[in-house]
Structures are given as structure tokens and as C-alpha cells.
């Protein structure tokens, strides 16, 4: 009981110490804090409005960008389709023109005369035509020859380098599907220079016909890949001086 009375007197003492001036200062501080709180709330409300406005503008810009992306994608697809159709059309015209030139003997020809001859090798072989080198620069468009049997071959372009030759290009496999005189266009033309030598690799059977005594076609069983150097001295220079009914078609300058 005595302890409780002491606490009561202490509280009354503390309350009596609070002067009117102190109370007025506290009220002023409280008012100032309320004004600051009200100002901060208004700023927060204003910022929320600006935020919503900006979000709306961003949403609208994203919508417009989405439309533009769709339009761009559509135009790109249409352009791609159009370019593809144009390339296909041009390629068809080029193929038709090449076939027309080939079938009507309007191309330059590099090789042995395409006539029926009496012999053929009938084994895998690489033929290198030293006699009929490329006379002028231009492009090769195809190959042709007189064949005793159906077969396949790969045409190679070989360039002279320090008394040797380097394979600088080879065709895809050309299928000879019948006998007699056969002419085939390459899918893609290839550039050649004056003095280039043409090689013909038969991976299965060399069935192109030949005669002896008028040519200079050398043979090997090797199949040199593009970039490979071949020594001319390593080629079999036959004593028969073979002339094969085989050559390439070209558009020369």
C-alpha cells in the first residue's frame, strides 16, 4: 500500500512539471508532423497517378510495338517467299538456257572428239587430259563423253604450280545412266583459267571409249582431293598416247 502511494505521488509530481510552454511546443511539433504527413501523402498520391499514367503509356507503346513487330514479320516472310520464288524462277531459266546451249552444241568444248572408239578401261581409274588444257579463262558448265557402259564420274579442275598440278575443284558425282554419247550439266558452274588441266575420276568403272596414238591422257588409280598436289611425273604416261572421247563444256572469254 505504501509502495503504491509513492508511485502516485511521483506521477503527480511529473505531471506538475509539464509547463504550458512545453505543452504548446508539443502541439506545434505535432501540427508540423501532421502537415508533413499530409504533404507526403499528397506526393505519394500524385506519384501513384503518374505511375498509373506511365504504365498506361508503356502498355500502349508495347501494343503498338507488337503490331509493328507483326507487320515487320509479315513483310519479312513475304519478302523471303518472294526472293525464294524469284531465285527459283531465275535458276529454272538458267537451267533451261544451259540445256539449250548444251543440246544445240553452242558451248565451247575442251577434250577429245566425242566419237565411237574401240577400247575402254572397265576399271576404277583417274584420267588426266594433258593435251586438251583450258585455252582461255571462263566457266565450266558440264561434261560429256562416249560411254560403253553406264557409270559414274567426278570431274576435277587441276592448276599448274611449279611443274606440278593442284586440284582446285571437283564436281559432285555425275551419273552416266546410258551408253553412247551422254552430256550432263553441272548443278553449279565453276571458274577456270587458261592452262588449267581437267581430270576425270571414275570410282567404279572407267567406261569411256578411247583410241591410241593421237592423245596425251595420263592415268592413275589415285583420287586426289581438292587442295592435293599431284606430281605430273607420278602419272602413268602410257606409250599408247591415248585419246578419250571425253571432255567438258564451257563458256570461255
Question: 163 and 219, same structural domain?
Answer: yes
* Domain CATH number, residue 229: 2.60.120
- Domain boundary among the residues 53, 77, 101 is at 77
Q: Mark whether 116 and 66 lie in a shared domain.
A: no
Residue 226 lies in a domain: yes
Q: Are residues 166 and 242 in the same domain?
A: yes
Looking at residue 91, what is its pLDDT? 65
- Considering the domain architecture, whether residues 56 and 11 belong to the same structural domain is answered as yes
Percent of the chain with pLDDT over 70: 89
Q: Are residues 202 and 146 in the same domain?
A: yes
Query: Which domain-ending residue is among 54, 77, 100?
Result: 77
Whether 10 shows a pLDDT value over 80: the answer reads no
Domain enclosing residue 225, as ranges = 109-252
- pLDDT bin (cut points 50, 70, 90) of residue 16 is low
Same domain, 55 and 138: no
Residues 52, 138: one domain?
no
User: How much is the average pLDDT of 44-52?
Assistant: 84
Question: Is 220 a member of any domain?
Answer: yes
Quick one: average pLDDT of 164-178?
A: 96
Domain end call among 77, 94, 127 = 77
Q: What is the pLDDT of residue 6?
A: 56
Number of domains comprising the chain: 2
pLDDT class of 46 with cuts at 50, 70, 90: confident
Which tens digit of pLDDT belongs to each residue from 121-149? 999 999 999 999 999 999 999 999 999 99
- 131 and 229, same domain (yes or no): yes
150 and 223 together in one domain: yes
Residue 117 in domain: yes
> For 175-196, what is each residue's pLDDT tens digit?
999 999 999 999 999 999 999 9
State the pLDDT at residue 19: 62
**pTM over 0.75, yes/no:** no
The answer as to whether 39 is a domain residue is yes
Concatenating the DSSP letter of every residue in the chain gives: -HHHHHHHHHHHHHHHH--HHHHHHHHHHHHHHHHHHHHHHHHHHHHHHHHHHHHHHHHHHHHHHHHHHHHHHHHHHHHHHHHHHHHHHHHHHHHHHHHHHHHTT-SEEEES-----SB---S-EEEEESSS---S-EEEEEEEEEESS-EEEEEEEEEEETTEEEEEEEPPPEEE-SSEEEEEEEEEEEEE-TT-EEEEEESS---B-EEESS--EEEES--PPTT-EEEGGGSB--TT-EEESEEEEEEE-
When pLDDT is cut at 50, 70 and 90, the band that residue 238 belongs to is low
Chain segment 51-103, per-residue pLDDT in tens? 888 888 888 888 888 888 787 777 777 777 777 777 777 667 767 777 787 78
Asked if the structure places residue 95 within a domain, the reply is: no
Amino acid at each position: 500500500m505504501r509502495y503504491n502511494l509513492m508511485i502516485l505521488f511521483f506521477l503527480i509530481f511529473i505531471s506538475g512539471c509539464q509547463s504550458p510552454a512545453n505543452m504548446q511546443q508539443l502541439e506545434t511539433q505535432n501540427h508540423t508532423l501532421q502537415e508533413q504527413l499530409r504533404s507526403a501523402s499528397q506526393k505519394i498520391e500524385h506519384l501513384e497517378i503518374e505511375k498509373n499514367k506511365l504504365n498506361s503509356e508503356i502498355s500502349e507503346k508495347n501494343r503498338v510495338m507488337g503490331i509493328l513487330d507483326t507487320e515487320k514479320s509479315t513483310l519479312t516472310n513475304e519478302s523471303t517467299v518472294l526472293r525464294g520464288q524469284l531465285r527459283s524462277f531465275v535458276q529454272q531459266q538458267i537451267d533451261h538456257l544451259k540445256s539449250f546451249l548444251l543440246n544445240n552444241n553452242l558451248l565451247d568444248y575442251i577434250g577429245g572428239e566425242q566419237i565411237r572408239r574401240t577400247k575402254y578401261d572397265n576399271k576404277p581409274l583417274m584420267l588426266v587430259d594433258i593435251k586438251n588444257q583450258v585455252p582461255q579463262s571462263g566457266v565450266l558448265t558440264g561434261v560429256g563423253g562416249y560411254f560403253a557402259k553406264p557409270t559414274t564420274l567426278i570431274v576435277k579442275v587441276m592448276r599448274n604450280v611449279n611443274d606440278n598440278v593442284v586440284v582446285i575443284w571437283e564436281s559432285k558425282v555425275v551419273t552416266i545412266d546410258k551408253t553412247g554419247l551422254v552430256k550432263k550439266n553441272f548443278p553449279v558452274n565453276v571458274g577456270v583459267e587458261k592452262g588449267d588441266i581437267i581430270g576425270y575420276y571414275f570410282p567404279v568403272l572407267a567406261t569411256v571409249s578411247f583410241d591410241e596414238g593421237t592423245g596425251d591422257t595420263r592415268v592413275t588409280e589415285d583420287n586426289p582431293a581438292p587442295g592435293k598436289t599431284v606430281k605430273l611425273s607420278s602419272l602413268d604416261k602410257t606409250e599408247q598416247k591415248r585419246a578419250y572421247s571425253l571432255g567438258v563444256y564451257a563458256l570461255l572469254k
